Structure 1
Amino acid sequence: MVTLQLDRLSASYGRRQILAEVTTPRFEGGQVVALLGPNAAGKSTLFRRIFGLLKGGGEVRISGATSKRPVAYMPQDSGVNAVLTVYESVLLARMQGRSLKVQEEDLARVERALEALDIINLGKRHIGDISGGQRQLVSAAQALVQEPEILLLDEPTSALDLNRQIGLLTILRRLARERGMLILVALHDLGHALRFTDQAMVLENGRMIACGPTAEVVTPELLRRVYRVAARIEPCSRGQPQLIVEADV
């Protein structure tokens, strides 16, 4: 099973340090890990550093991977080509780094990715003709179709309505379990993190300030310190933790 561990990971833009020696325990396939923190905490930079788009100190340790390209990354701004259809854009993502000749297996994987995210009905539509939320789901399909063992998703729910947010996170959790994928997802909604993720890591000013099981990380003390809000966490009817914000601190 694939594992990921970060050891003193750092990154800078020019002379400005964005990440400062971020270290994590070993995360395993089958888990969904929330990446939390306020704006400008360094979440996107951390994903770019893990994916290899940025250089810096420290080490990204991946073990147990069975493919040469085990990691797929969905950035916040994917820049999907508006001229292509949804199907074409996902197929193009599938073919990156592969043979130029499209095989039946490639077409089947595109269908599977679209079906997994419940957007198969959008296949023939052009990217420029669909909503921002739908384009976000297409970006997720582009990452998923690469059959990653580790999937990095940078705020994949930001343009989705509540129903779609819950639907996508439910799908991601199921896919992690069924396929043994390790999914790291940057989220701003801490309630979603509590409900849908197994582990959480919290960044503040480029430093890791908390990491562990989500229910142990997302606490009233953390909310007060990092997000400047007073809140309590109570179990809902299904026994899952529920975040209730009381007032600004």
Structure 2
Amino acid sequence: MVSLQLDGVAAGYGRAPVLSDISTPPLQGGQLVALLGPNAAGKSTLFRRIFGLLRGPGTVRIDGARTDRPIAYMPQDNGARPVLSVYESILLARMQGGRLTVQPQDHAEVERVLALLDIGHLRGRHVGDLSGGQRQMIGAAQALVQNPQILLMDEPTSALDLSRQIGLLGLLRRLARDQGLLIIVALHDIGHALRFTDACMVIRDGALAACGPTATVVTPALLKQVFKVEARIEPCSKGHPQLILD
């Protein structure tokens, strides 16, 4: 099964450092992992460094990969061309890597992802005509259609309504567990992290503040230290952890 481990990873832009000495234990396939931290903590930079869009000191180690391109990355702005249809934009993402000939399996994978995310009704729409939430779902489709073993998703729920947020995070958790994927999602909703994720990484001021099982890492003390809020974590009537702000 695939795993990802960071050892002394750092990155920045020009002479401005953003991340320093990020080291983690192996993050294993089969898990949905939250990447938490305040605004400008370095979450997007960490994703770009892991994906190879940025260079810097340290090592990003991937073990157990079945292909030479095991990672897909969904940035906050998916960069889809507004003149393309939804179907075309997802098919184009499927073809990343330089292939010029579309095979029947490529069309089948686009159809699979459209059905998986329940966005088949958007297939003929131009990307530029979509709402922010719809474009975010297209970004998720563009990442999933590549069939990655490691999926990095930068705030995939920020523009979605509550029902879509819950549906997407539930789907990602099922995909991770059923297919052995390692999915890392940057989130601002701590409640969603508590409810859906198996583990989390917490970034503060470009450094790793904590990494481990979500229930162990996300504590009132950490919330006060990193997010500057007074909060409690208590089980609801069904036993799920809930964040309560004091």
Instruction: Return the alpha-carbon distance in structure 1 between the equivalents of residues 222 and 146 of structure 2.
Output: 36
Hey, what does 2:168 align to over in structure 1?
168
- Post-superposition shift, 1:200? 0.5
Q: Percent identity?
A: 68
Residue identity opposite 1:3 in structure 2: S
Give the alignment of 1:93-242 within 5 angstroms: 93-242=93-242
- Post-superposition shift, 1:237? 2.1
**Residues matched between the structures, number:** 246
Q: Structure 1 stretch 123-132 or stretch 39-48: which is displaced more?
A: 123-132
- Post-superposition shift, 1:52? 0.2
Return the TM-score normalized by structure 1: 0.97
Q: RMSD in angstroms over aligned alpha carbons? A: 0.8
Hey, what does 2:36 align to over in structure 1?
36
- Post-superposition shift, 1:98? 4.5
- Post-superposition shift, 1:96? 1.1
Unaligned runs of 5+ in 1: none
Return the TM-score normalized by structure 2: 0.98
Q: Structure 1 stretch 115-124 or stretch 45-54: which is displaced more?
A: 115-124
Instruction: Return the alpha-carbon distance in structure 2 between the equivalents of residues 22 and 209 of structure 1.
Output: 9
Hey, what does 1:12 align to over in structure 2?
12
Extract structure 1 runs of 4+ deviating beyond 2 A.
none
Instruction: Return the alpha-carbon distance in structure 2 between the equivalents of residues 100 and 155 of structure 1.
Output: 31
Instruction: Return the alpha-carbon distance in structure 1 between the equivalents of residues 136 and 12 of structure 2.
Output: 28
Instruction: Return the alpha-carbon distance in structure 2 between the equivalents of residues 234 and 205 of structure 1.
Output: 28
Deviation string 1:113-170 (CA, Å, 9 cap, x unpaired) is 1111111111111112221100000001001000000000000011111111111101
Unaligned runs of 5+ in 2: none
Residue identity opposite 1:21 in structure 2: D
Residue identity opposite 1:155 in structure 2: E
